[in-house]
Amino acid sequence: MAGGGGGGGGAPKVDEPQPHPPKEQLPNISYCITSPPPWPDAILLGFQHYIVMLGTSVLIPSALVPQMGGGNEEKAKVIQTLLFVAGLNTLQQTLFGTRLPAVIGGSYTFVPTTISIILAGRFSDSDDPIDVFKPTFSCSLVALVGFGLYELGFPVLAKCVEIGLPELVILVFVSQYMPHIIHRGKPIFDRFAVIFSIVIVWIYAHLLTVGGAYDDASPKTQASCRTDRAGLINAAPWLDKSSIPLQWGAPSFDAGEAFAMMAALLLLLLRLPISHIFVMIKQSTGAFIAVSRYASATPVPPAILSRGVGWQGVGILISGLFGTVTGSSVSVENAGLLALTRVGSRRVVQISAGFMIFFSILGKFGAVFASIPGPIIAALYCLFFAYVGFSIFMGLSVPQYFNEYTAIKGYGPVHTGGRWFNDMINVPLQSEAFVAGCVAYFLDNTLHRKDSSVRKDRGKHWWDKFRSFKGDSRSEEFYSLPFNLNKYFPSV
């Protein structure tokens, strides 16, 4: 700020405008990017990030490896390779890239193109599935197409709703409601909600499995619900030595497929709905910006974003060399975990990278956690994919499941003898606005009920009795209205 005029008697200088003082990105962050929590908390939080990222590392190979001709042994190797590369890419991003606490894992955006490569005619000449599997893996062509993340939420959860829905309910209850019920001590419930909820529902799912609840179920239901159907523990080696570059063979390239894929990519980009384009943007720079916000860091400069995207390209190159069946990108679900735990420490994410590398080398131990049923992981995605808009995400994800089910079966998930009852449940739940509105209304009226500012924002104060404010003529005239009706209605 400029001072007054000097001894020369000149006119005082006009004060120059000063910038606003810097503020934290989020006021309730417990540990920011440079302030690590105590080591016991940091280790547990790093393990939570590993568990959340593990879902991507399991779901993608589980969907693609069988189509490539691989069995449980090949699927276990791909999962361990994907974990190993995710650990390497996370370390290089936190050390040399943006240096934000961003987990770099497998990306769903590469899945459609990978499927098209798998279905290429030049890989179907052999009758031996393993002979088909290895050359398919060595193809180096990868293109980027959008993949709506809401399709991985409730539709996957509903494959075994009896364990997926309890996981979602318990996760929301422990993370959002328990901290307001129990106020004493450290913020344990919201910080370690993932561990609490997964342990409870995993034990519950195992009891259903050993109790024979799925003995007579269809193979598809058993694969989604049972805790002993993953086939990873027996197939995984104790000490994995397969995480080496070019383990599936030398890279191959086909010019015809390359041009066909570029043409297909152009058509897809022209036909993609806005939600898919949003996902493509969010998977790169948008995710970095979200991580920066949840880590209470300063806004990311464009140069740093460019550097992060450059190192992300290095990570995709590493993924191709090691053969991870997909590319890599910033994990949106782990960004949501930063928001949930309010711990944006870089050290925590680096510890999670250590867990990824450690459990990828010790295959048996990693396979135990990788055998968590898919619907449990999908329940985590329902919250973490949409932490900044849970009701909006559920408004997209739940109708997606109901619409898919109706298109395949010809009737909705609720199918009883009374059609009026079926329509009363199925039809509203196919509406995005209805589901999003119901979820938002429920959360707004059950969370932070004692907070007066939140209560005012959600509009519930209109139920309160009208108050008279002294000195306001309108208020006094209103209250005098019943006693002075002749003033307004002379005929009365």
pLDDT digits over 250-288, tens only?
A: 666 666 556 655 554 554 444 444 444 444 444 567 788
Whether 170 and 259 map to the same domain: the answer is yes
Q: Is 483 buried (19+), middle (13-18) or exposed (0-12) by CB count in 10 A?
A: exposed
Of 253-257, 443-447, 488-492, give the lowest mean pLDDT range: 488-492
Please write the tens of the pLDDT for every residue from 142-199.
Answer: 223 323 455 667 788 888 889 999 999 999 899 888 888 877 667 888 889 999 999 9
Residues 111 and 238 in one domain: yes
Mean pLDDT across the stretch 415-431?
Answer: 85
In which band, very low, low, confident or very high, does the pLDDT at 448 lie, cut at 50, 70 and 90? low
Length of the chain: 492
Can you tell me the distance from the alpha carbon of 339 to that of 191, in angstroms, rounded to the nearest whole number? 10
Average pLDDT over residues 374-398: 78
According to the model, what pLDDT value does residue 132 have? 53
- Higher per-residue pLDDT: 265 or 209: 209
User: Is pLDDT at 395 greater than 60 in this prediction?
Assistant: yes
Rounded to whole angstroms, the Cα distance separating 93 from 197 reads: 30
231: left (phi over 0), alpha (psi -120 to 50) or beta: left
Whether 468 maps to a domain, the answer reads: yes
88 and 185 in a single domain? The answer is yes
> 475 is in which domain, residue-wise?
457-488
Sign of the dihedral through C-alpha 260, 263, 266, 270:
negative
> Are residues 464 and 380 located together in one domain of the fold?
no
**Claim to verify: residue 474 and residue 358 sit in the same structural domain:** no
Cβ proximity of 159 and 205 under 8 Å: no
Of residues 329 and 203, which shows the higher confidence score?
203
Task: Tell me: do 361 and 247 sit in the same domain.
Answer: yes
Same domain (yes/no): 474, 349: no
Is 401 exposed, middle or buried, given 0-12, 13-18 or 19+ CB atoms closer than 10 A?
Answer: buried
Structure tokens at 187: 């913020």
- End of a domain among 388, 403, 431? 388
CB 333 within 8 A of CB 385: yes
Specify the pLDDT at position 43.
Answer: 95
Are residue 238 and residue 340 in the same domain, yes or no?
Answer: yes
pLDDT digits (tens, 9 = 90+) for 212-221: 888 888 888 8
Using pLDDT thresholds of 50, 70 and 90, give the confidence band for residue 7. very low
Is pLDDT at 127 greater than 80 in this prediction? Answer: no
Number of domains in the chain: 2
Q: Give the pLDDT mean for 220-231.
A: 81
Cα separation, 25 vs 297, in Å, equals 7
In a domain, 299, yes or no: yes
Residue 107: inside a domain: yes
Could you tell me if residue 413 is inside a domain?
no
**Do both 377 and 464 map to the same domain?**
no
pLDDT, position 443? 82
Phi-psi region of 476 (alpha: psi -120 to 50; beta: other; left: phi over 0): alpha
pLDDT confidence tier of residue 92, bands split at 50, 70 and 90 = very high
CA–CA gap between residue 74 and residue 19 (Å, rounded): 58
Give the number of other Cβ atoms within 10 Å of residue 429's Cβ.
19
Q: Are both 328 and 464 inside the same structural domain? A: no
What value does the mean pLDDT of the chain take?
75
Least confidently predicted of 91-100, 127-136, 204-213: 127-136
- Could you tell me the pLDDT band of residue 347, with boundaries at 50, 70 and 90? very high
Counting Cα atoms < 13 Å in the Cβ hemisphere of 391 gives 12
Helices (H), 410-492: 419-426, 432-446, 452-457, 473-480, 485-488
| Dist CA 489 CA 200 (whole Å) | 68
Q: What is the pLDDT of residues 43-89, one digit of tens each?
A: 999 999 999 988 888 888 877 777 777 777 888 888 888 999 999 99
Over residues 428-443, mean pLDDT: 85
Residue 233 belongs to a domain: yes
The last residue of a domain, from among 388, 415, 432: 388
Question: What is the average pLDDT across 451-473?
Answer: 53
Q: For residue 322, is it within any domain? A: yes
pLDDT at 166: 93
| pLDDT of 1 | 36
Q: Do 229 and 369 sit in the same domain of this protein?
A: yes
Percentage of residues of the chain with pLDDT beyond 90: 15
Structural contact between residues 89 and 56, judged by C-beta atoms closer than 8 angstroms? no
Let me know whether 68 and 152 are in one domain: yes
Q: Is the pLDDT of residue 392 over 50?
A: yes
- What is the pLDDT at residue 279? 44
In a domain, 352, yes or no: yes
Return the pLDDT at 181. Answer: 81
- Residues 287, 102: contact at Cβ < 8 Å? yes
In this prediction, residue 4 carries a pLDDT of 40
- The answer to whether residues 305 and 113 touch, using CB atoms and an 8 Å cutoff, is no
Whether 405 is covered by a domain: the verdict is no
Last residue of a domain, one of 331, 353, 388: 388
3-state secondary structure (DSSP) of residue 105: strand
